[in-house]
Amino acid sequence: MAVRHRLIKAPPSAVWAVLADGSRYAEWVVGTSSSRPIHGDWPRTDAAIGYEVRIGPVSLTNRTTVRFCEEGSRLELEANAGALGTARIAIELRPWGEHCLVLVDEHPLQGAGGWLHNAAFEPLIHLRHRAMLGRLAGLCEADDAQRRRHGRASTTTPATAAGPQGE
């Protein structure tokens, strides 16, 4: 079972915002070149995203379905890779001070992925998760920094910029 974690220097709400946007799936999931909602309201239970994986000239269309969602803290997905089978991917968000600790737990459910899964295959999944969590961190931290910059700029009014009244 491949379990990996990463501290993302953004609040859990910023991480959840990226996870909850189905159109951004391909931005953080390694190997996907595009994604689009195909069923339901992502990330609600039973909602699904279709995505494309390109390996050289070959293009494969796959599907990921939400199996469990606890808004803001937990998302469990079933990735269906056709002939390779299906996998469970559980993503948990934990507040860690002002940041977010993200835990990813993935294991095969059905098909060839389960038959091929062994101790030799495990390091490849860890490498993929390291890259995936790195992408997720980059997106979340950039989005959070942009929100903070925008938030500071939008809260400054001429009255507050001038300083306290009555001096």
Whether residue 71 is contained in a domain is answered as yes
Number of domains present in the structure of the chain: 1
Quick one: which H or E segment has residue 125?
helix 122-155
- Position 57 in a domain: no
Range of the domain at 81: 2-21+66-153
Confidence of residue 103 (pLDDT cuts 50, 70, 90): very high
Compute CA distances 165 → 45, 154, 160, whole Å. Answer: 52, 20, 9
Mean pLDDT of 113-130: 71
- CB proximity list for 30: less than 8 A, separation 6 or greater: 128, 131, 132, 135
Q: In this predicted model, which residue has the larger pLDDT, 92 or 149?
A: 92
pLDDT digits (tens, 9 = 90+) for 38-50: 999 999 999 999 9
Tell me the pLDDT of the chain averaged across its residues: 84
Q: Say what the pLDDT of residue 150 is.
A: 84
* Ramachandran assignment for 82, one of left (phi > 0), alpha (psi -120 to 50 degrees), beta (any other): left
Is position 97 within any domain?
yes
Predicted pLDDT of residue 98: 96
Secondary structure (3-state) at 62: strand
107 in a domain, yes or no?
yes
Burial string for 19-41 (b: 16+ CB within 10 Å, else e) reads bebbebbbebbebbeebeebeee
How far apart CA 102 and CA 80 sit, in angstroms, is 23
In-domain check, residue 163: no
CATH number assigned to the domain comprising residue 101:
3.30.530.20
Break the chain down into helix, strand, coil percent, rounded to 5. Answer: 35, 40, 25
Residue 28 is assigned to a structural domain of this protein: no
Judged by DSSP in three states, 139 sits in helix
Rounded CA gap, 91 and 71, in Å? Answer: 12
pLDDT digit string (tens) for 2-25? 789 999 999 999 999 999 999 999
Report residue 32's pLDDT band, with 50, 70 and 90 as the boundaries.
confident
* 55-93 pLDDT, tens digit each: 788 888 889 999 999 999 999 999 998 877 898 999 999
Is residue 121 situated within a structural domain? yes
- Burial letters 86-106, b for 16+ CB under 10 A, else e: bbbbbbebeeeeebbbbebbb
More confident residue, 1 or 60: 60
Evaluate whether residue 26 is within a structural domain. no
**Amino acid 104: pLDDT:** 96
Starting from the edge strand earliest in sequence, which strands make up the sheet with 58-70, in order?
Answer: 2-8, 99-110, 86-96, 74-80, 58-70, 48-55, 32-39
Read off the pLDDT band of 118 (50, 70, 90).
low
pLDDT at 140 (0 to 100): 97
